[in-house]
């Protein structure tokens, strides 16, 4: 009797997917990978983050990343989770400098990326996480602003609505907690261990992801989106 082939989800994005800032558990994506690994017939998760990646770099590597993650019987992954966009919001050189990717180009790029990804597998998209403006610039050159992050997350959501792609907003829900600044690393950009845990709990209980994974009877909890 052959064993069922597990579903495969690739997660593409930046340092947030890598888990940078969380030396305890390796980040929200690694926490989810371990959680699913302990479930009967849990999906296989591939965290494919690259530090510093923005929308254009993720789009450039999407096809290759998907095509080489078949694992069993040369199947393609059954899902793609995109967690990208924060790096695109940064202004270069000074607080009012040019953004790494301007808003119009960002929206167009997201629209194109979603169409490309949807042709490969079902797609889900995460929103963006807060930044601490008081400690900018990051790496002495990049200025991140909450209002800019809010604007770009709105563009992500707009593109997802147009493409009929599930979207999990993060920014406002994290900012609603008075302790949100304590969830960031000292650089003001990357989540720390508690910040990654906060995102993990939201992602783990996301109804759209649970439905994709066919795990609702096993993992539904008190945190929802």
Examine the pLDDT at 114 and tell me if it is beyond 80. yes
Residue with the larger pLDDT of the pair 225 and 65: 65
Examine the pLDDT at 176 and tell me if it is beyond 80. yes
Is 149 within 8 Å of 128 (Cβ atoms)?
yes
In the prediction, which pLDDT does 224 show? 39
Name the H helices within 21-145: 28-37, 55-67, 103-118
Average pLDDT, the chain: 91
In the prediction, which pLDDT does 75 show? 75
Write the DSSP symbol of residue 83: E
Q: What is the pLDDT of residues 84-108, one digit of tens each?
A: 999 999 999 999 999 999 999 999 9
Q: What is the pLDDT of residues 126-146, one digit of tens each?
A: 999 999 999 999 999 999 999
Examine the pLDDT at 192 and tell me if it is beyond 60. yes
Residue 219: pLDDT band with limits 50, 70, 90: very low
Q: What is the pLDDT of residues 35-84, one digit of tens each?
A: 999 988 889 999 999 998 999 999 999 998 888 876 665 678 899 999 99
* Pairwise CA distance, residues 37 & 81, whole Å: 17
Q: What is the pLDDT of residues 11-41, one digit of tens each?
A: 999 999 999 999 999 999 999 999 999 988 8
Strands (E), the chain: 8-13, 44-49, 79-83, 91-92, 123-126, 142-143, 167-168
Is 167 within 8 Å of 157 (Cβ atoms)?
yes
Domain 8-216 sits in which CATH superfamily?
SGNH hydrolase (3.40.50.1110)
In the prediction, which pLDDT does 77 show? 87
In the prediction, which pLDDT does 72 show? 60
In the prediction, which pLDDT does 3 show? 58
In the prediction, which pLDDT does 221 show? 42
Examine the pLDDT at 1 and tell me if it is beyond 60. no
Q: What pTM was computed for the model?
A: 0.91
Residue 108: exposed, middle, or buried by beta-carbon count in 10 A (0-12, 13-18, 19+)? middle
Residue 152: pLDDT band with limits 50, 70, 90: very high
């Amino acid at each position: 009797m052959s064993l069922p082939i597990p579903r495969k989800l690739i997660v593409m994005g930046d340092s947030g997917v890598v888990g940078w800032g969380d030396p305890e558990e390796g980040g929200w994506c690694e926490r989810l990978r371990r959680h699913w690994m302990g479930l009967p017939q849990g999906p296989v998760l591939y965290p494919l983050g690259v530090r510093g990646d923005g929308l254009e770099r993720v789009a450039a590597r999407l096809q290759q990343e998907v095509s080489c993650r078949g694992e069993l019987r040369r199947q393609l992954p059954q899902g793609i989770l995109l967690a990208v966009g924060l790096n695109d919001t940064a202004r270069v050189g000074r607080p009012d400098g040019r953004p790494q990717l301007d808003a119009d180009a960002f929206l167009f790029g997201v629209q194109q990326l979603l169409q490309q990804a949807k042709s490969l597998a079902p797609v889900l998209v995460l929103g963006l996480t807060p930044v601490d403006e008081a400690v900018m610039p990051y790496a002495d050159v990049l200025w991140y602003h909450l209002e800019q992050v809010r604007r770009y997350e709105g563009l992500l959501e707009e593109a997802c609505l147009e493409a009929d792609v599930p979207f999990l907003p993060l920014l406002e829900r994290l900012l609603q907690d008075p302790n949100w600044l304590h969830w960031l690393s000292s650089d003001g950009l990357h989540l720390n261990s508690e910040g990654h845990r906060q995102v993990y709990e939201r992602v783990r209980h996301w109804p759209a992801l649970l439905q994709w994974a066919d795990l609702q009877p096993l993992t539904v909890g008190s945190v929802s989106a």
